[in-house]
Amino acid sequence: MSNGETPADRDRAHEHVCAHDWTEQQRLSALESYDILGTLPETAFDDIAGIAARTFDAPMALVSFVARDTQWFKSALGIDIHETPREVSFCAHAILRKGQFVIPDATQDVRFCDNPFVAGEPHIRFYAGAVLRTPDGLPLGTICVLDHVARPDGPTQAQTEILQALSRAVMRELEIRVERRFLEVALATMDQGLVMIEADGRVPIINARAAELLDLPDELIESRPRFEDVVQFQKDHGEFARVAEDLRDDIDKAIVHATRYDYERTRPDGTVLEVRTVPVAGGGVVRTFTDITKRKKAENEIWRMANEDALTGLPNRAAFTRQLNDMLDTAEANGSTVSLLLIDLDEFKDVNDLLGHDAGDELLRRTATRLKAMIRPGDMVARLGGDEFAIILAAPFGLADAARFAGDLIDRLRMTFEYEGRTLATRASIGVAAFPDHHRDAVELMKDADIALYRAKAEGRSRVVIYDDHARRAMHQRVQIVQEVRDGLIRQEFVPFYQPKIDLKTGRINGFEALARWRHPVDGLLTPARFGSAFSDVEIANTFGIAMMRQIASDLQLWREMGLQSGAVAINTSSAEYADPALANRFLAILEDHRIPAILLEIEVTESVFLGRCPETIHATLRRFHDAGTRIALDDFGTGFASLTHLKRFPVDHIKIDQSFVRDMLTDRGDAAIVEAVIGLGRSFNLEITAEGVETREQATHLEALGCNNAQGYFYAKPMPGSRVPWFIRNWPDRLAGRNPGPASVVNPPGGRKKSGIGGR
């Protein structure tokens, strides 16, 4: 309960939340029946709390029981408190909920911000608790993890599931305690085996459960044997075959001289026994045997869930991180090497989208099998999540060896396999980093390999890239630009500038292209050459596109209200935007909101968009635009990986010749041939053709002679803000008639003559 909450408030909360399930008195009676409050610490509970702490990488973990006025901790890891008033208990809130109770940041929660354990030591920020419920559904308390640092994203799905499993493990421990208590009272019916050994070595009591667990015959039991006779019988029948040698030595000793009284051992049939020995006053001992096979199986399952990937059986990220730290420690101490490979499967999403998740899962399993087959003893392969794997290579492999190994691995993964009548193969990109060549710290070494992996994917995928410091600097710069653009979007600093597209035959304005500009508060007006790299981020690309589209629609609406004929306005789109299948619907809705016909919008795409990882989504999006009346323009034609297939497959209406060919076409035969070929290609496909970067009358005249439809460039006008467009449209007839010759004068921002690789976005 939060500070200031009275018992009456608490009772009303119980009645409100759980009136149909249980009463507070029922809950307290159930808690009392387990006889857990005030008991000494136990290894089983501490182990479970430890698993919870490691799963969440949290400094504190508790097994907590909520009594009438207090909460009491059966296990308290990382915190030197064993009992608190119920009024300041997080867990008292948790037991009132059906599911897990998570507080991402206690300082931001009005229920807990003034809590003394939040405001003071141990300065709790994050809390996640799973309720301990009896078989009848009565909540007794929680197993919970706490952190000094807030976790806005809360726990992962895997952490949530493991914490829930641990709550069940705690309840199993409580049930076992209840069983033990009753069994100690009634020897004849107890579930534990019990053997009493007197000081002289005689064994007067072996209960039925002990005989069953140890496979001891009736005649041996009835003979009141000596302890050594029992041990010898067990040896003769292979009882200790699976027992470690040091423990076997302890068992061989006379019981009164044993140095280990509590241990676990596995019988030949696989049963796991917990053996406890209690000395008796006056001499002799009582030894109990408990079958903990199910508990050990549950613990092993919890360990597996915490350390293994459920789909592939490989170690998961948590186990991988521990192993990487251990191997780096060893390498530093021995002066040896550790190499790290991060592996990302190319086009994995396409397999999921086209063939279904079953095919994707099979691809991941096959990949895991192949990776395991390639590593050596001492190496490790893990699945980090999704389609990302990692391999740690131990010495004597160095960086060069790791790079060669990665190349072989790519070749191995390319081998095809059959799945439900289809032939599948895996292509992968790999980033490589190593110690001592790169960072010693595991987190930094992971960043090194991840940066190299990013470069491998950016450079075309299906390749190996070794980390270098330049790549890290470039990554940091990109991250900085992404953050600056994100801040600029919040401050609405991005605006469209417009450059006219001129009909070469009539000289009339045939439309405009919207080019993004950043009114930077420090650096002034910037082009995408400065910030275009941020648009590889899907979230930023989508946010930016919507913001630009709204401004363009607003400008078009204003010009139409002024009676101006602007023609269609082209907006550039980035590859990342096409990850959103609703892109076309969003843009068209904005036009509709501003009462702008779809025919007044043109979508410009670069050839790189056609090479994206979701061709079906891209095709559907462009088709949606085209069917609505919006034209599709292929920008910067000839600079990338254009294919005639793209012109046939996608609904392209318009191609734009890149300015790099137009600039020198009058003096460079190669550029002239390319320009002429592109114009001829466009005419043969019955496409509109626009030449970009036209700066002289001679260029315009030559392009018209070749059959080019439109021209765009500084010869006509530099990009201008939307407020300047009405003046330009009204005065263009005079300029066209020669009464105001020369290009319109508009301030050219830094790098303004060159459009970014994202098409001036």
* Angle at the Cα of 733 from the Cα atoms of 730 and 735, rounded to 5 degrees: 105
Integer CA distances (angstroms), 302 to 147, 310, 368, 373, in order? 22, 12, 22, 27
**β-strand 272-279 against 262-266: which pairing, if any?**
antiparallel
Measured distance CA(317)–CA(384) in Å, rounded: 5
Answer whether 578's CB lies under 8 Å from 586's CB: no
Q: What is the pLDDT of residues 260-273, one digit of tens each?
A: 578 888 899 889 99
Inter-residue contact 581 to 621 (CB < 8 Å): yes
Please provide residue 221's backbone torsions phi and psi, each rounded to the nearest 5 degrees: -65, -45
Among 297, 251, 303, 258, which residue's Cα sits nearest to residue 278?
258
Name the strand (E) or helix (H) holding 336.
none
pLDDT value at position 586? 95
Peptide bond into 279 cis (omega under 30): no
Amino acid 24 reads E
d(CA 204, CA 581): 79
- Give the DSSP letter string of 607-662: HHHHTSS-HHHHHHHHHHHHHHT-EEEEEEETSS---HHHHHHS---EEEE-HHHH
For residue 355, what are the CA distances in angstroms to 418, 420, 424, 676, 708? 13, 10, 10, 43, 44
Say if CB 521 and CB 493 are below 8 A apart: yes
- 434's enclosing H/E stretch is strand 427-435
The DSSP symbol for 252 reads H
Question: Which residues have CB under 8 Å from 759's CB, separation 6+?
Answer: 572, 573, 574, 604, 605, 606, 635, 636
126-133 and 139-147 beta bridge pairing: antiparallel
Count Cβ atoms below 10 Å from residue 518 Cβ, excluding itself: 21
CA distance 317 to 301: 17
Beta strands per DSSP E along 78-230: 83-85, 101-103, 126-133, 139-147, 193-197, 205-206
* Cβ atoms of 524 and 750 closer than 8 Å: yes
Closest CA to 708 of 737, 742, 681: 681
The amino acid at residue 574 is: S
Residues of the chain predicted below pLDDT 70? 1-20, 183-188, 249-260, 353-354, 471, 611-614, 638-645, 739-761
Residue ranges of E strands in 270-368: 272-279, 285-291, 338-346
Measure the CA–CA gap between 515 and 714, rounded to whole angstroms: 14
CA dist., res. 52 & res. 60, Å (int): 9
CA distance 634 to 247: 77
For residue 726, say if its preceding peptide bond is cis, omega within 30 degrees of 0. Answer: no
Cβ 448 vs Cβ 467: under 8 Å: yes
The amino acid at 282: G
What is the per-residue pLDDT for 757?
35
Alpha-carbon distance of 615 to 631, in angstroms, equals 19
For 363, residues 6+ apart whose C-beta sits below 8 A from its C-beta are: 345, 348, 351, 419, 424, 426
What would the two tokens of residue 365 be?
A: 């399993």
Amino acid making up residue 581: P
Q: What is the pLDDT of residue 144?
A: 97
**469-483: per-residue pLDDT in tens?**
776 777 777 788 888
Q: What is the pLDDT of residue 247?
A: 76
pLDDT at site 611 = 62
DSSP letter string, 718-758: --EEGGGHHHHHHHHHHHHTTSS-S-B--PPPTTTTS--TT
**Both tokens of residue 653?**
């209406």
Q: Residue 693 region, left (φ>0) first, then alpha (ψ -120 to 50), else beta?
A: left
**Quick one: pLDDT at residue 665?**
93
Contact indicator for 93, 110 with CB cutoff of 8 Å: no
Q: What is the pLDDT of residue 507?
A: 93
pTM of this structure: 0.49
